Amino acid sequence: MWSPFAARHRAQGLLIGGIITAAAGAGISTFLLLLRPDNDRAVWAVGLIPMFVGVAMLISSWLVWPRNGHTPGIGPGA
């Protein structure tokens, strides 16, 4: 059985992971853009993959965050 503390811990883990992954993706994109400024190939776009994974983790953190004492997926009607 889930407790409110476990739900919050899960949401916080997604939040932290999302921030780190999104920042790493933005850093990779910036690094590759500065490394190859001639625009022959858009290698900087490789950093968009981890950046969007991080954004997805941030969204999922927002979705599973307990609100008003209610944990999504627990209780009547879940």
β-bridge mates for residue 67, sequence order: 70
- Please answer whether residues 10 and 64 qualify as being in contact, where contact means their C-beta atoms are separated by less than 8 angstroms: yes
What are the residues whose beta carbons fall under 8 Å from the beta carbon of 64, sequence distance 6 or more? 7, 10, 11, 14, 72, 73
Q: Look at residue 74 in the predicted model and tell me its pLDDT.
A: 54
DSSP annotation of 41 reads S
Ranges of each domain in the chain: 4-64
Instruction: Name the pTM for this structure.
Output: 0.73
Distance CA 50, CA 26 (A): 8
pLDDT-derived band at 77, boundaries 50, 70, 90: very low
Instruction: Dump pLDDT digits (tens) for 9-55.
Output: 888 999 999 999 999 999 999 998 888 766 677 888 899 999 999 99
Instruction: Dump pLDDT digits (tens) for 49-75.
Output: 999 999 999 999 999 888 776 655 555
- Enumerate the H helices of 1-78 as residue ranges: 4-35, 48-64
